Amino acid sequence: MWIVYGLLAHFSWAIENIGDKYLLSNKIKQPIVYLYILGTLFGVSGIIGFLVLGMPLLDVHTLLLITLAGVFWFFGGLPYLLAVQKEEVTRIAIWWNLIPLFSFVIAFFFFGETLSYNDGIGFGILLASALIASVHVRKGIVVFSSAILYMSVACFLYAIYAVFLHEAMKTIAFPVAFVWTALTVGASAQVLFLFSRFRRLFREEQLFKKKYVLGSAVAVALSEQVGTLFNQAALSLAPAALVFSLESSQVLFVFVITAIVAFFNKKALRESFDRGNVVMKLLAAALLFVGIAVLGGK
């Protein structure tokens, strides 16, 4: 059942990725302001969940794990959004597959999980896939995207979130974990208002005067939260590295949706479809599937 939850999560996140790209490429200038909106809306969902489900008492260890998970989830969003603003969403989708690699490393150091021979080979292939996805072909010249550095940081922080949350959910049900995570994310977003620079950037965006943009952000946030809900349901049933091995499905979802959008409006997502870049993306995607197959065959 965790596979079904995982696939539903990645479909929702694929929609979110494309929505993020559209808004940051065309409507919102500052990724950190957009992150605040997403985090605050997640916090609102946590408050609604609290009113519906109540707030069960947690032991100190579980509370610490889930609070840290929420904080890392929120702040992992900033390097991700910076990468989205700089790079094509199809490449971003491939880079998400760094999360299982980081998840295993973190689980090894914090919780003693071990890495098998097949795991090592599979993760090596996933790393090669990510590096190939960072290659741009411009007039016959190969250029590496600097956005992969942002995504590496984002994936590392999301991996911490996933591993810590999986450990926390060994003692609590995932709806409770979702409420606690959402409340932590919402509280983390409000911390940004302590900084004068952020308050200035927030005023400059004037989001509350752009009802279409704000409505679009709400729709993207809902897609993100639905994905997170399904993801946490999967994490309650399987280890983080195993759950996030389904990232390949998100690559397919993003490729298909992006192609459909580009058919109607090529400039909306600013995606390149020239032969050289398409070949590099397809090669990276092929390696991605090989890596997942190796991991799945252990």
Query: Dihedral angle at the C-alpha atoms of 221, 223, 73, 34, nearest 10 degrees?
Result: -30
Answer yes or no: are the C-beta atoms of 294 and 125 closer than 8 Å: yes
Angle subtended at Cα 259 by Cα 230 and Cα 278, rounded to the nearest 5 degrees: 110
- 136, β-bridge pairs: 143
Helix or strand (DSSP H, E) at 88? none
Task: Say which residues have a Cβ less than 8 Å from residue 271's Cβ, sequence separation at least 6.
Answer: 88, 89, 90, 258, 262
Asked if 103 and 171 count as a contact pair (C-beta separation under 8 A), the reply is no
Is the torsion defined by CA of 130, 126, 230, 78 positive or negative? negative
pLDDT interval class at 182 (50, 70, 90): very high
**Band of the pLDDT at 54, cuts 50, 70, 90?**
confident
| SS3 assignment, position 138 | strand
Question: Mean pLDDT, to the nearest integer, of 130-144?
Answer: 66
Q: Is the pLDDT of residue 214 over 60?
A: yes
Query: H/E element holding 142?
Result: strand 141-144
CB atoms within 10 A of CB 271: 22
Most confident of 47-51, 118-122, 208-212: 47-51
Q: What is the pTM of this model?
A: 0.81
Structural element, H or E, at residue 135: strand 135-138
- pLDDT given for residue 153 in this prediction: 93
Q: What is the mean pLDDT of residues 104-127?
A: 69
The answer to whether the CB of 107 falls within 8 A of the CB of 241 is: yes
> What is the rounded CA–CA span in Å between residue 259 and residue 271?
9
The answer to whether 94 touches 288, Cβ cutoff 8 Å, is yes
Tokens 């969940």 locate to 49
Helix (H, G, I), strand (E, B) or coil at 103: helix
Q: Average pLDDT in the 259-277 region? A: 74
Q: Give the residue extent of every domain in the chain.
A: 2-296
- Distances in Å between the Cα of 2 and the Cα atoms of 9, 239, 251 are 10, 10, 19
Residue among 253, 81, 228, 104 at smallest CA distance from 151 = 81
- Residues linked to residue 143 through DSSP beta bridges, in sequence order: 136
Instruction: Return the minimum-mean-pLDDT range out of 196-205, 239-248, 253-262.
Output: 239-248
Contacts of 118 (CB under 8 A, 6+ apart): 294, 295, 297, 298
pLDDT in tens, 61-112: 889 999 999 999 999 999 999 999 888 888 888 888 788 778 777 777 776 6
Confidence check: pLDDT of 257 > 80: yes
Per-residue confidence band for 274, with pLDDT thresholds at 50, 70 and 90: low
